[in-house]
Structures are given as structure tokens and as C-alpha cells.
Amino acid sequence: MAFDMGSYTHGVLKMGFSKILFIGLFLVSSVLGGDQVSKRKETKPCSFTAIYNFGDSGSDTGATTAVFGSFPPPYGETFFHKPAGRASDGRLVIDFIAELLGLPYLDAYLNSLATNYRHGANFAVGGATIRRQNSSIVSRFGISPFSLDIEITQFDNFKSRTYDLYKQANTLERRGLPVPTEFSEALYRIDIGNNDLYVGSQTLSLQQLREELPDMVNQLASAVEHLYQQGGRAFWIQSGSPLGCSPVNKILNPNIPPGFLDKNGCVKGINDVVTEYNRQLKDRLIKLRAELQEAAITYVDQYSPVYPLVTNAKNEGFPNANIICCGYFENNARVPCGAKAIINGSEVYGASCANPSLHLSWDGVHATEAANKWVANHVLNGSASDPPIPITQACHRYN
């Protein structure tokens, strides 16, 4: 059976490229000045009452399945033992954040049944982008029509409705609603942009994509400003990942010329653009700290820690780092995770591997729970952040 690129991108790839390589993060030590270390020791942990998350498939906990239909088994098999609205075999980094902060897992805003928003809501949708994409891009790449500005509008509606319903509800009914006065005490996390970068690399020249970066950065910064005006004060903003190292590059382009790859087998041109995007994003967030006098804005560098793991994965506990765990990818045949197809007259099932914890890539686009956990353990401590503070202290402003 010939590989149908369209069906594949509308299957696995529509979940998004946000954690597209999900190779895990390599711990990078941060050298802090004595005064800053002293401040961190004296600073008390934040008492976050809620998390409001914005992003794509890297942190989507049910929006994609609410809108487009459920992920099939074996998604969710490791932790939830069934599909749980996540593009992985188990938990995502956002789930580990909730655990660390002592909060429940986030329900998706678009999920209408059995939801509880007392401690936050998740507006992330698989395939989401910072900027709105035209219909041809949405169709060709399976990109979500829910861009960041739409997620922000959904938050505005959510907050407005919360105030109205809270006034009308009795004590029992209020248990599933946020306390209106606590919106300013929540953590606002934004992890989006990789879909813009990857799709841009497939539809534009690299120079054209570079010219689009300032607009991407400005639109993300505008989202932060808007959330600040709505009462948000603590922001945890993720950078772009080294997309050129994603397994999906070799799935979709098995004959990449060697000259386009770096010494670790990553597509250099894409990674160079991501690096430039991250530089511009960091600079803009630093300026935003000065403009928003009461905001605590943390920039989280996902690129610098992730990239070294390309050559160090086995030493970090992932001996099958170069093998996609779920799906069938052999002899130019491609069967996405959980799907079935007829190949050479026989039915082939995109099954999962025997031990996902030994793999970094779950389905070629998204990470295994083991990789997500490794990321959480090595990033939430602040070692890849600016300022270099753990997420438990992200409510404190550092100049």
C-alpha cells in the first residue's frame, strides 16, 4: 500500500508539532550569582490556586478529542490504561506540573462532560498555532483552527461566565467553578509556536520564515499582555524546541540530503530558525517584564537543554531513543499509532512497543510519558529558565 501523506498528516500530525521531537531534556546547570542564590533560598514557594494553560498537543488534555474524536488505543495505556485525551501513552508535562503544585489534572475547556474547573482550565488544542493559518494550511497539515488568539478569547468567555455563574450558584454548585478572586493567584502557562515554525519551514523559504518571526513573537507577547490586563500575574512561557531533530522529519522525508543535516542527524536549517525565534522571544519577554510592573514572567528555554540529548539519550535511560514506540514504520509503509491498514494484502496494526519507558518518541510526533517525566524533572526546577527559578516560585518577580 502506498503511503498517503494526507491521511498521515490528518492522523498523527494533526495533533501538532509542539513536542514534535520530544527527545527529552538534558539537564543544564545554571550558574547563579550569590545574591540571587540567597534570594531563592529565602523565597517561599508560591500558593498557586489554579493553572490556566494555553498551547497545542504538547499540553492538550482533551480538547482535540472533544472536537475531532477520541484517540484510539493504545494511547493512554501506560498511566490511564485507556485513551485519556492526551497524545501520549500517559501523562504530559502539564500533568506533572499539576502534580508538583498539588493541583488536580486540568480539564480541557472544550470538554463539556464531567469537568471540574475549580483549580483551572486547559485551553490547549492539538495542532494549534500562534497565528491564524489559512484554510489550505489547515487542510494540508492538519493544523487546528484554534489559534492562540481564539484560546485567549475562550479564556475571556470562561472568566466572564465564571463571574456570572458564581453569583447565581449555591455552595454545592460552586465546587466546580473557579473562585473569581483567585484568577490573579493562578499560574498562566503558554507553550505554543512549534506548529507555526514547522509548517512555515515546509511552506516558506527559511529566509521568508525568518521574516515572519517578529510577528509571531509580537502576537504571543500580546497574549501575555491581555492576560495581564485580565488579572494574570505569574507567567511560565515555553520557547521553541529543536524541530529539526524530530523523528517525523525522516518519516515524511526519508531521503534528506546529508548536506542539510548536522553531525547529529538534525535538519540544521529548521533548528537555526527556531534558535532565532527563541532569541527574539526571550528579548521580548525581558522587555515585557519592564512594561508590566506587577508581572512575574519566566522564559523557559526548551531548546538548549533538549538538543544535547540527541547524542546522550542512552546514558539518560532511553536505549531505544531512535525508535518510534507506537505505529508501523517499515519498508516505506506507514501506519499511525492505533490505526490499521492493508499492506501487501495483509492487515497491519500500528501497535505500541513492549516498553514505552525505554523510548523517547511515542508516535513519531509526541513524547512518551517517560520522556515527559524526564522533561518535567529537569525543567521545572528552573535550570533552563530566565530568571532561573523553579516553577514553584514563578509567582515572584525578579528583575
Over the stretch 166-193, which tens digit does the pLDDT of each residue have? 988 887 788 899 999 999 999 999 999 9
Q: Tens of pLDDT along 107-119? A: 999 998 899 999 9
Q: What integer pLDDT is reported at residue 319 of this predicted model?
A: 94
Task: Identify any residues that bridge with 340 across adjacent strands, giving them in sequence order.
Answer: 349
Q: What integer pLDDT is reported at residue 136 of this predicted model?
A: 65
- Residue ranges, the chain, pLDDT below 50: 1-15, 17-41
Q: What integer pLDDT is reported at residue 254 of this predicted model?
A: 78
Is residue 58 within 8 A of residue 37, CB to CB? The reply is no
Q: What integer pLDDT is reported at residue 214 of this predicted model?
A: 98
Catalytic residue IDs: 57, 363, 366
Task: Identify any residues that bridge with 343 across adjacent strands, giving them in sequence order.
Answer: 346
| Cα–Cα distance for residue pair 247/252, rounded to 1 Å | 9
Q: Which three cell numbers stand for residue 351?
A: 501497535
Contacts 24+ apart (CB under 8 A), 245-250: 245/21, 245/23, 245/271, 245/306, 245/307, 245/310, 246/17, 246/20, 246/21, 246/22, 246/198, 246/365, 247/21, 247/322, 247/324, 247/361, 247/364, 247/365, 248/13, 248/17, 248/20, 248/364, 248/365
Give 352's contacts (C-beta < 8 A, 6+ positions apart). Answer: 74, 77, 89, 325, 326, 337
| Burial letters 249-287, b for 16+ CB under 10 A, else e | bbbbeeeeeeeebbeeebbebbbebbbebbebbbebbee
Distances in Å between the alpha carbon of 202 and those of 81, 140, 230, 252? 36, 11, 36, 11
- Mean pLDDT rounded to a whole number for the chain: 88
Q: What integer pLDDT is reported at residue 46 of this predicted model?
A: 97
